[in-house]
Amino acid sequence: TVLDGAVKLDKDKFRLGHTKVFFRAGILGYMEEVREDKIGSVLSWLQAGARGKSSRMQFKKLQDQKLALYCCQRAIRAMMMAKTWKWLQIWLAIKPNLKCTQFGKYKKEYEDKIALAEANIDKAIAECNAVVNVHERLQGEKQELTLAL
């Protein structure tokens, strides 16, 4: 039973009744000491596991920071080295003037022009119709004068 396996208590140190366990004198104190030792060992095991997990997480965080720092250093070193290259200096001089880099500016200009045209389209259509009517009237008058002569 449990007393034989976990506590390693001899059969003559305790007796089992129907509903109770009877111990000889001094055995209860011994069992309290065993219990205290077991609780202490379990708690120290749990604490060691928690400390180990915390240390591993901290180490992983430091390792990630170190790798990020190496990456930043590599990028800065490459940029510092590339700044002296003539082709990069030419590219950096030309790039701001390229149309492809200013696409947003051109898009906004054309959108503004389209909005202005859409706002004035009704007025332009009315003016066009008025000019067409005047042209037709003048064409008719010309035709009448040509026939009269």
Residue 89 to residues 35, 82, 103, 143, Cα–Cα distance (Å): 77, 9, 22, 71
The partner residues of 21 in beta bridges, in order of sequence, read: 16
Q: Which of 12-21, 43-52, 80-89, 111-120 has the highest mean pLDDT?
A: 43-52
Higher pLDDT, 134 or 84: 134
This prediction has a pTM of: 0.41
Report whether 106 contacts 99 (CB < 8 A).
Answer: yes
**Amino acid (one-letter) located at 37:** D
Residue 75 to residues 72, 78, 84, 86, 93, Cα–Cα distance (Å): 5, 5, 15, 19, 21
What would the mean pLDDT of 86-101 be, rounded to a whole number? Answer: 78
99-131 per-position pLDDT tens digit: 666 778 888 899 999 999 888 888 889 999 999
Mean pLDDT estimate for the chain: 86
The pair of three-digit structure tokens given for residue 28, joined into one six-digit string: 């209860």
Among the ranges given (24-28, 37-41, 125-129), the one the predictor scored with the smallest mean pLDDT: 24-28
Please tell me the predicted confidence (pLDDT) of residue 133: 95
Residue 33 to residues 36, 38, 42, 72, 119, Cα–Cα distance (Å): 5, 9, 14, 58, 94
